[in-house]
Structure 1
Amino acid sequence: MRAFRATATATTAALLGVVILSGCGLARPDHALVTFTAEATAGGSGPAPRDTSAPAPEPEPGAPSPPPATAETIVTVTRSGGFAGRTHTLSVSSDGSWTRRGAHAEPEGGGLLSSTQLGRLRAAVEAADFAHLSRTAKSGGTVFDGFTYTFVRGGLKVVTNDGSVPAVLTKLLDALPPFEG
């Protein structure tokens, strides 16, 4: 009974970890994972780890193809504040799909950019040159009831406010889908 509980606990913990990582976008098929087998290790201390990072065997002819790899996020922008104090986050992926989320990360909409819109957004993101932008851009005056923008690109984050948004980020904002639907 103890071995069953230990196995059940380890399995539950492993599944919970996968669910949490997939929600954060960290569990991807190309990342190495360690799973646990149901057999106990020598000494009965719990499940034995099994490396699953080895390449998968070639599919048999006529077998269904695996799902395509998920698209990479090009940019994520959160806009908060304003007169009503609302928060919305837009994330745009490399395939042109975009999602809009509310203050509590609840889905509020989404869509697919046209190839022209996606090209315009890609050009604006590249022109912004996130690696060389100040992490906090606050050069302008205060705009009462203005918005605060948080831009995230490739692990780099830039925070700015209305009245201080650099021109390169204004072009990026113009290329995004609407923050409200």
Structure 2
Amino acid sequence: MRTGRTGRATAATGAVLGAVLAALLLGGCGADGKPAAQRTEPIATADGSSPGTPSAPPAGTPSAPAPRDPTTPGPGPTATAPPSSPRATSPSTTLVRVTRSGGFAGRTGTLVIGEDGSWSRLDGRADEVGRGKLTAPQLGTLRAALREADFARLPRTSKSGTVFDGFTYAFAYGGFEVATGDGSVPMALTRVLDALPPFED
């Protein structure tokens, strides 16, 4: 009788242990019967993405600039325009212009007098070789002589007399041009010549 009881107790104990082992094994497996450690499916997060998978940035987020290739030369320095050099300027508004040519040396020179009395002396190539400014009394004398000359009534050319190695003059004033020469210069133009700055230093 004792042997039968012992056998039944041993069988019951084995059944209990078997049930415990089955529960432990089934607790570590998924619905497909595989252990959790062997699963390959990603676990979804709260936003539906899988952990470790980069998600697209939200709309409106600026993207980072692409890195520059170190072998590609960058933009060169910005070129700047060189500063302009100052230039000699003649009077902005011309009052009278007188050109003298001839003489013993056969030279040509021009005086350009501005409305404000500033003047420039030009050589035969029209290069500036001198400049200055008339005083207020000098400018007043020149203006009076120009008005009294009455260019509108003067002959365009007056060269009746001939002077050996003399000068010829060309006047431009008030829209009129008059040419004359030593020996035939009208008295009115003589006063204009006397009121001009010198043709040479």
Q: What is the TM-score with the length of structure 1 in the denominator?
A: 0.60
Structure 2 residue aligned with 1:118: 139
Structure 1 residue aligned with 2:200: 180
Aligned counterparts, 1:19-168, within 5 A = 71-139=92-160, 141-168=161-188
Return the offset for 1:73. 1.1
Residues in 1 aligned to 2:125 and 2:171: alpha-carbon distance in whole angstroms:
18
Q: What is the TM-score with the length of structure 2 in the denominator?
A: 0.54
Residues in 2 aligned to 1:104 and 1:172: alpha-carbon distance in whole angstroms:
24
Residues in 1 aligned to 2:179 and 2:132: alpha-carbon distance in whole angstroms:
25
What are the superposed Cα offsets for residues 16-49 of structure 1, whole Å, 9 maximum, x if unpaired?
xxxxxxxxx9xxxxxxxxxxxxxxxxxxxxxxxx
SS at match of 2:105: coil
Residues in 2 aligned to 1:86 and 1:176: alpha-carbon distance in whole angstroms:
18
Matched residue pairs, number? Answer: 112
Return the offset for 1:74. 1.1
Residues in 2 aligned to 1:73 and 1:154: alpha-carbon distance in whole angstroms:
10
Structure 2 residue aligned with 1:12: none
Residues in 2 aligned to 1:89 and 1:156: alpha-carbon distance in whole angstroms:
17
Structure 1 segments, 4+ long, off by >6 Å, are none
Residues in 1 aligned to 2:121 and 2:166: alpha-carbon distance in whole angstroms:
20
Residues in 1 aligned to 2:173 and 2:137: alpha-carbon distance in whole angstroms:
21
5+ long unaligned stretches in structure 2: 1-89
SS at match of 1:130: coil
Q: Larger relative contact order (C-alpha < 8 A, sep ≥ 6)?
A: 1
Computing the radius of gyration from Cα coordinates, the structure with the larger value is 2
Q: Which has the larger share of strand? A: 1
SS at match of 2:152: helix
SS at match of 1:174: helix
Return the offset for 1:105. 0.2
Residues in 1 aligned to 2:150 and 2:95: alpha-carbon distance in whole angstroms:
13
SS at match of 2:132: strand
5+ long unaligned stretches in structure 1: 1-24, 26-69
